[in-house]
Chains A and B, each alone.
Chain A
Amino acid sequence: MELTTPTDADIATLRRRAQRIRRDVIEMLAAAGSGHPGGSLSAADLVTCLYFAVMRHRPQDPAWVDRDRFVLSKGHACPVLYAALAEAGYITRDLLTSLRRFGSPLQGHPDRRKLGLVEASTGSLGIGLSMGIGFALAARLRRSPSRTYVLLGDGECEEGQIWEAAMFGAHLKLANLCAIVDFNRLQLDASVEEITDLEPLAAKWRAFNWHVIETDGHDCRRILRAFADAEATKDAPSVIVASTVKGKGVSFMENQLKYHGAVPDTPELIQQALREIAAVPAHGEGP
């Protein structure tokens, strides 16, 4: 689809996919009994747009050397990545309930050796943007059109290495690199504002010479426009600062610290979460 002019049908399809991905996130976390729902749900619309509208990739040829690459730097959100891979047909849906099980390719944080579909084994926050620079440089050396997308957490932006990478990426004018900050404003112990206030976050990235695009991280139309803007920017790397809601889509998880790394502990809560996710319309008002 043309990112700047998606049809209503395109958007509706994306929204349906995003809700299926949210459903899969809840189901796989329920099966695992542990994991990170809040940051997976906040990223669901961004990841859906990446896998189903923005990135050039081939489920029938996962090793395609010129594929666009996605680095989930906030690796704890891997349920949303695994769900996207299943939705795209890279893995079967029934694999999802093996999340975190001993021997599963779906490890608690992405593991490139056990699941070759993930580009980087992340989980230690702060390293993904640097690795993204490595991928972007590799693409440049190969004269490949491959673009690299790196999804960062907002708490993760407290890590110094993010800013090492930011300085260097801008210095290299890596226009084939696009970062996305899942700005859900919560970390684990407290809100980001209480721990280490990142604001003005967009201004910081601009000061580091990145092309900054701010967007609502749950509005598919706006998200697509942001990615189009990034792709059209040829003289600098881009960062999409996406305002999101941690736990988005499940009323009792939204904006709750509790659900950063804890799974709902009763079947009733799981069922409520799934009902709420299923009830979101693909068409109509809102994103």
Chain B
Amino acid sequence: MIKRWGSLELGPATREAYGRALAELGAENPRIVVLDADLSKSTSTSSFSKANKERFFDVGIPEANLVSVAAGLAAGGFIPFASSFASFLVCKGHEQLRVCCAYMNLNCKFVGSHGGISLGEDGPSQQSIEDVALAACLPGFTVAVPADEVATRALIRAAAEHEGPVYIRVGRPRAPRIYASGERFSFGRAKTLSDGNDVAVIANGLMVATACRAAELAERRGVQVRVIDCHTAKPLDEAAIAMAAEETGAIVVAEEHLVRGGLGSAVAQVAARRRPVPMEFVGLEDTFAESGTPEELFRAHGLTGEHLLGAVFRVLERKAQPGTT
């Protein structure tokens, strides 16, 4: 699929798209129940609770209880979607995700809201920089970060259909529209947004739009970028990654996340195993961020299109050196 990106218009935040998708699912399927941890307006689970009071449970702030109650509901035959901010859900609730949901392989769905540093001014205690890594550590979990409204709706619906535990990260700010309404998604099937054989830029979430921007800038300098939206961190689309490595010979991975343990690490393992190529990683380098607007934070922490372009040219330099990877 070839995409002409131009300037991407802003659509609603992926957290809003989540709320709407939940409301739809709630009307269609009486087994869907929703839980929140006192953040229902922020996470948009209030879109579900308005019409489905009996099937909505606000457990209050305790995230450990949130996760285990959801597990009990799943074991009891329902399909729970449970939310809080990604940082609290996955960090505070991690052991419960591990022993209740992953170990029992229960059919519960967790949506971490306000993921990444684009949460902004509230600061690092609330900003998840490790949720994808931690969620992907859980055996049997499906882990995804949708880029826009269309992707979110599709992946939330896919989560409801999927048998097994799922973690999806959504974000606070409005998200650039990447996909046309009706675009179909499956877990583990990455989306190639542009042809290009000089370098592949693999990204997820808000970084997909950033990758498109970088690709546009690169194209002006004669570099053809293959942009891949690798929305699912687990299971990874190994075929797409291997093909990108084979056909482009250089990969940059960009994520709104620590560079360690998230999408970049996972992609690197696949490339190392199947088709080693020079790689660069764009993300947070072993640091928390701070208070600021999303734009300021992305500039300060290397997550802009310009930073991504820099990574593209660094990896191309390494690709050009014979005998090295």
- Measured CB to CB, the residues of A under 8 A from B are 65, 112-113, 119-124, 126-127, 130-139, 141-142, 160-161, 164-165, 167-168
Contact = CB atoms under 8 A, between A and B. Distances in A.
A168 B72 contact: no
Nearest to B96: A127
B64 interface: yes
Interface stretch (B54-62, B126-134, B187-195, B228-236): B54-62
A161 B65 contact: yes
Given A134-B73, A138-B76, A161 B68 contact: yes
A106 B14 CA distance: 44
B60 A138 contact: no
Contacts of B74: 134
B55 A141 contact: yes
A120 B68 CA distance: 10
A87 to B, nearest CB: 24
B251 to A, nearest CB: 37
30 contacts: A113-B104, A119-B75, A120-B75, A120-B100, A121-B99, A121-B103, A121-B104, A122-B99, A124-B99, A130-B64, A130-B72, A131-B69, A131-B71, A134-B71, A134-B75, A134-B76, A135-B72, A135-B73, A135-B75, A136-B72, A137-B57, A137-B69, A137-B76, A142-B76, A161-B65, A161-B68, A161-B96, A164-B64, A165-B65, A167-B60
B33 A141 contact: yes
Interface string B119-157: 000000000000000000000000000000000000000
Contacts of B62: 161, 164, 168
A123 B99 contact: yes
Given A138-B77, A139-B76, A142-B77, A131 B68 contact: yes
A135 B104 CA distance: 15
B185 interface: no
Nearest to A172: B57
B78 interface: yes
A65 B75 CA distance: 11
Nearest to B62: A164
Contacts of B67: 130
Interface of B: 33, 54-55, 57, 59-60, 62, 64-65, 67-78, 80, 95-96, 99-100, 103-105
A165 B78 CA distance: 19
Nearest to A159: B64
Contacts of B75: 112, 119-120, 131, 134-135, 138
A168 B60 contact: yes
A131 B54 contact: no
A167 B55 CA distance: 20
A57 B80 CA distance: 26
Interface of A is mostly: helix
Given A131-B100, A134-B70, A164 B76 contact: no
Contacts of B78: 138, 141
| CB-based closest 3 A-B pairs | A134-B72, A138-B76, A130-B68
Given A124-B95, A127-B100, A138 B105 contact: no
Contacts of A122: 99
A120 B69 contact: no
A130 B70 CA distance: 9
A160 B96 CA distance: 13
A130 B104 contact: no
Contacts of A136: 72
Contacts of B96: 127, 130, 161
B105 A133 contact: no
Contact of B68 (A112, A127, A139, A167): A127
A134 B99 contact: no
B104 A112 contact: yes
Q: Which of the listed residues A127, A130, A135, A137 has the most CB atoms from chain B within 10 Å of its own CB? A: A130
A135 B64 contact: no
A112 B73 CA distance: 15
B246 to A, nearest CB: 38
Given A112-B104, A141-B54, A131 B72 contact: yes
Contacts of B57: 137
A151 to B, nearest CB: 15
B72 A132 contact: yes
Contacts of A130: 64-65, 67-69, 71-72, 96
B77 A168 contact: no
Contacts of A133: 65, 68-69, 72
A216 B197 CA distance: 75
Contact of B73 (A120, A127, A137, A165): A137
A274 to B, nearest CB: 34
Q: Which of the listed residues B54, B55, B59, B68 has the most CB atoms from chain A within 10 Å of its own CB? A: B68
A170 to B, nearest CB: 12
A131 B75 CA distance: 9
Nearest to B76: A138
Contacts of A124: 95, 99
Nearest to B140: A113
Contacts of B72: 120, 130-138
A161 to B, nearest CB: 5
Contacts of A123: 99
Contacts of A161: 62, 64-65, 68, 96
B69 A168 contact: yes
B95 to A, nearest CB: 6
A137 B75 CA distance: 11
A135 B72 CA distance: 5
A142 B30 CA distance: 10
